[in-house]
Structure 1
């Protein structure tokens, strides 16, 4: 996956993390830490790229955040 291809989704991912963390702070809800951004991408677009795993893990984190806030 090229660096250019990651810029927009990564920007959106960071925005979503900030949004849900802000909502949790306002609701006095503690969320687990979001997944760390990968640091080992080779940039060759590998099948099973570390970024694919990151975005998958982030999807689960966002679901957990939504459930935690819905319970309040």
Structure 2
């Protein structure tokens, strides 16, 4: 989880430096029961986090989006 938070922070800092607006990253789940369920809320979170990071990198790669 720490690595994901750090990645969010790094991309948000790059976007702020480049003047690029990003949507907020996905919120961390608060409803995990800790039983290792198939389809755990954490699986959905990490999938959404990956998509958010790819979307943020795409926005930063656009002309005027700052360094890629």
Taking structure 1 as the reference length, the TM-score comes to 0.86
Give the equivalent residue in structure 2 for 1:65. Answer: 56
Give me the whole-angstrom Cα distance separating, in 2, the residues matched to 1:21 and 1:57. Answer: 16
Residue ranges of structure 1 left out of the alignment (5+ in a row): 1-9
Q: RMSD value over aligned CA atoms?
A: 0.4
Structure 2: runs of 5 or more not aligned: none
Task: Tell me by how many angstroms 1:31 deviates.
Answer: 0.3
Instruction: Give the TM-score of the pair, scaled to structure 2.
Output: 0.91
Runs of 4+ in 1 over 6 A off after TM superposition: none
* Structure with more of its chain in helix, by fraction: 1
Are positions 1:31 and 2:22 aligned together?
yes
Number of residue equivalences: 63
